[in-house]
Chain A
C-alpha cells in the first residue's frame, strides 16, 4: 500500500525512510489481529499508529477510533507527546488524549461524554471504563486497539485482564482490529495465541532485529567476592565507563542492591558526576525528576531496576551495565536494547557479576545471547481470580447473560481453554461466595432474574467494585516520609520491613541514610541521619530465579576440562572443586555432606532456581525432622540448598523420594506464609477482600483484620473452595515453584553423595549467603522465651 498525502512529504521532510515493517503493518491494516515483534528503536510505535493516522487523515471519522494501551502511565503520556509531532506537522484533524489514574476527574468525565479520536490508557483504566453502564456509547465506532509492550503485559495478570477487556470491546464493537507491539521474545506463536481473538488466528510480523549487540563482561582490577550481590568491587571501573559514555544505565536485580550500590558509587564519585537513582519504591515525584533530567541530558548515569525496563525513550543512552547475574536471557536482551535507541547501531552492554559463581552465570548468559537462545516459561492458562474480577466488572455495567459472557471470555487467548464448569464455579463465587455452607442467601452479591440474567443485588455495590479494579498488588507497602520539614515523601518500604524496625535504626532510601523515628497512621516517619553506614536496606522487591535454560547451560559448562573463557580466579576455583569433590553434572544430583563449626552440613546442588531451592530446603528439613536428624536451619541460592543440623545424613537417597516430597509439600503448604501471601493477592483480585473501602479511613485499624485469618478459616472449614484452589495453583508455579523441583527430579537419574571432611570450594560461598531460614519447632519457642525474659529483666519488671 502506498502512503496517501500528506504522509510521503512528511517522511521526506524529516529525511526518513519508511521501515519495511511499518510498510507491512500498513499493508495488513485490515487484518483482525497482528503481532509486530521489533527491537527497541525500530519505530515500533509509529508502525502501530500509522494505519490509524492514515484512516483518520480525511477527518470523516466521528468519535473514538483507536485505543492505545500501555503498561505504564508515563508511557501513555510520552506517546501522546510523540504522536502530536506528526499530527501537528501534517495538520491532521486528529484529537489525541491520555487517560490514566492521574487524569483529573473533570477531564475523565468529559472524555466519557466526548471521547477523542485516539485515547491512550492503561489496562486498569480501560477495565474501569468498561464497568460503566454507558460503555457501549463511549466505545461506539472504535476501530483499532494497539497494545504496546505486550511482551511485558503477557507476563502478568494485567495482561490476562487486558485480554478479557479486549474480548468485551470486541463484543461492543464488531469488526474491531487489534495490534500488539512487542520486544524480542522467545516464543512469538505463544504471544500471538495470547493476543488472538479465538478461534481466529493472529498474524506475526517480525522486523529486522538489527545488528548484534556489543556485549561483554566488565574487566575489573579486583576479583569478585565469594558471595553477595552488591558489585561494589567494580565501582572504579564502572565510574571509568560512566566517564567514557554519554548516558549509562546501571541495572540491578533488586531495589535494595540498587540503593546500596548507588550509595557506594557516590562515596567514590570524587568528581561529582551527575548520577541518579530510579526504582519502583521511590516516590513518584522523585522518579519523575530523574526521568526529566535524563531526557534533558543532565545526568551521566542512572542506577535503576526493572522500573526502567519499559519503552520510554530516555534520551541518549549509549551503555547499559547489568550488575549481578541477569538470571534470564530474554530480560537481558531487552535491557541491552535500552542502549542506543538508534536502529542501525549495535547496543552496547557490560555485565558485572556480583560474585564468583555469577561469573559462570554471566559467561553462560553471554553465550546464550550470542546463540540467540532466549528463555521463558510458559505461563499456563488464565488465572481464575482475574476471571472473577471480570465477571464483577461485567455486572457493574449491566445484567449478565451467562452464556454470552462465557462465549466472550473464551474468545480471549488466556481463557480459550476454559471449561464451562470452571466458568460456572467463578460465576457462583462472584454471586454467592461459592461456599460449601450456604448462608445469607438473601444477601447474595448477584441475583438471578426470572429471565436467567444475573445482576447486582445492591446497585450501590458497583462503587466499591470499581474502586478495587486492577490486578496490581500494592497493599503491603508503607509510605516513608520525613518527620520534619513538611513531611516530604521519600518512597515506600514493605510492611514486613517496617515492622522489623525500632526507633533509631537507619536504612537507605533514595540514596540517603535515614533514621527510623516511628510509625504514624500508616506512614513510616524518618529523619536525616548524618552517619555513613546504614543498618541496611532490606526492602527486597522482586527476586528473580535463574531460568531453567540458563541453569542447564551452567551445568553443561561444568563438563569442560578447563575454562579459558573464565577469569583465572573463577577457573581455579572450579578446578579446586573438581579436585577435592566433584562438579555438578547434568543428569546427576550432587550431594555433599561435611562437618563444619560443630554442625553437620548437607549441600544439594539442584540448579532449580532460588524459589524451588528454597522450597526444597523446607521439604528436606521437614523430612529430616521426621527422621530425627535434628536440622537447625537452611539457606538456598539459585543453584544449591545448604542445610545444617546436629546429626550427619549417611544416605540422602530417601530424602529425595518424589512421593514423600510431594506428600510433604501438601502438609507443609497448609500453614505456610507463602500460601497466605498468595491467597491475599488472589482474594483481592477476585473481589473477596477490598483494597480500598470508603469506610477504611474513619473506622480505624482495629476494624480490619488480616487476610491470613480468612485463609486459616477456609483451610479449616472449606479447603476445596475456589480461592483455595487458585491459591494452590498460583503458589505451585510461583513462589513455591514445585514445578522446577519436579523438573529437577525428572532430569537426574541418580544421586552422587560425597561424605567429606571439610567445606568444599563450591559450598563455601553458601555460608556467606543472607536469608538463612531457621527450622520451626522447639528452637524458636526457646528463643522467644529467652527474649521475653531478657526484656522483662531490662525493664525491671521481672
Chain B
C-alpha cells in the first residue's frame, strides 16, 4: 500500500496520499474534517448556492480508502458535518451510503467545533478516544503526548505548491482535512508553528505521500 510509514508514541502508522491515516496494527482508518453538508449549510444561510456534490465526492473517496485498507475501525476526527443541522438535512441516499460503509465496522464520531451534538446516524459518539498509546481528539492540546487531531486543515508547500499535509513531531500528529469542500491553513501560520516542535515534518498528500521538513 502506498503511503508514508512513521511512528508516533510507539504506534506504527501510515499516512496515505488521500489524506487518511491508517494504523495497521489496529486495522483502524482515521479521517478528519469531512464537513459533509457544507453546500446545504451555505445555501441555508443564503451565502451562495455551491454545487451540491461535495458529500457524494467525500463519501466516494472515503469508500475508496476503506476498500484499500480493509479497515475494521473508522475514526472520524470531528467536524464530520458542517453543522448539526447539515447532519440532519443529509439526503436519504447519502444517509444510506454512510450506513452501508458502517456495516460490519466499529465507527466512531469524535465531536468537533462544527458538530458538537450527537448525530442521528449509526456509530459511537465520543468527545475523544484513547486507544493504546494514542489519543484521538478534534483540537490539539498543548501538553498532549501521542495525540492525533485535526481541526486546522494543515497545508505544506514544496517547490511553490501548497497542498493538504499531515504534520507530526514526537508528541503529536495533525491530520489534513479529508472533506472535498475544505480549505487549508499553511504550516507556517503562527498557530501551527506554536504547536509543532522545531524538528516537525510534513507529509504532503496528492499522487504520493512525500515527507519534507515542516515549512515554518
Contact = CB atoms under 8 A, between A and B. Distances in A.
Interface of A: 432-433, 435, 437, 439-440, 443-445, 456-458, 460-461, 464, 499-500, 518-519, 687-690, 693, 700-706, 709-710, 713-714, 716-718, 721, 781, 783-785, 787-788, 791-792, 794-795, 797
Given A701-B183, A716-B57, A792-B213, A445 B153 contact: no
Given A439-B52, A687-B48, A709-B181, 15 more contacts: A435-B51, A440-B89, A443-B40, A444-B43, A445-B43, A456-B46, A688-B48, A701-B189, A713-B51, A717-B56, A788-B210, A792-B212, A792-B213, A795-B199, A797-B213
B56 to A, nearest CB: 8
Given A440-B44, A702-B152, A499 B160 contact: yes
B69 interface: no
B39 interface: yes
B53 A716 contact: yes
Contacts of A700: 185
Contacts of A701: 183-186, 189
26 contacts: A433-B52, A440-B52, A444-B49, A457-B46, A460-B46, A464-B46, A499-B157, A688-B49, A690-B47, A690-B48, A701-B185, A701-B186, A701-B189, A702-B177, A705-B181, A706-B183, A713-B180, A714-B51, A714-B53, A721-B51, A781-B208, A783-B159, A784-B210, A787-B158, A792-B211, A795-B213
Contact of B160 (A432, A439, A500, A690): A500
B97 to A, nearest CB: 15
Contacts of B56: 717
Contacts of A433: 43, 49-52
B199 A797 contact: yes
A702 B184 contact: yes
A162 to B, nearest CB: 25
Contacts of B208: 781
Contacts of A687: 48
B7 interface: no
Nearest to B206: A784
Interface of B is mostly: loop
B83 interface: no
Contacts of B39: 439-440
B172 interface: no
Nearest to A794: B213
B208 to A, nearest CB: 8
Contacts of B91: 439
Contacts, number: 118
Nearest to A780: B159
Interface of B: 39-40, 43-44, 46-54, 56-57, 89, 91, 152-153, 157-160, 162, 177, 180-186, 188-189, 199, 201, 207-208, 210-213
Nearest to B162: A499
Q: Which 8 A-B pairs have the closest CB atoms?
A: A433-B49, A705-B183, A443-B43, A439-B52, A458-B46, A795-B213, A461-B46, A717-B53
A2 B212 CA distance: 80
B185 A710 contact: no
B53 A791 contact: no
Contacts of B180: 709, 713
Most chain B beta-carbon neighbours within 10 Å: one of A461, A688, A693, A705: A705
A342 B157 CA distance: 55
A705 B182 contact: yes
A432 B157 CA distance: 37
A153 to B, nearest CB: 28
A146 to B, nearest CB: 35
A127 to B, nearest CB: 19
B64 to A, nearest CB: 14
Given A706-B183, A788-B212, A443 B44 contact: yes
Contacts of A702: 152-153, 177, 182-185
B207 A787 contact: no
Contacts of B162: 499
A688 B46 contact: no
Contacts of B181: 705, 709, 713
A630 to B, nearest CB: 21
A439 B86 CA distance: 13
Contacts of A500: 160
A533 B44 CA distance: 54
B183 A717 contact: no
A305 B5 CA distance: 53
Nearest to A798: B211
Contacts of B159: 783-784, 787
Most chain A beta-carbon neighbours within 10 Å: one of B53, B185, B208: B53
Contacts of A787: 158-159
Contacts of A705: 181-184
Contacts of A794: 213
B157 A445 contact: no
A432 B49 contact: yes
B165 to A, nearest CB: 12
A288 to B, nearest CB: 34
A468 to B, nearest CB: 10
A717 B185 contact: no
Most chain B beta-carbon neighbours within 10 Å: one of A688, A702, A703, A717: A702
Contacts of B160: 499-500
A710 B51 contact: yes
Contacts of A721: 51
B158 A784 contact: yes
A73 to B, nearest CB: 28
Nearest to B40: A440
A691 to B, nearest CB: 11
A457 B44 CA distance: 10
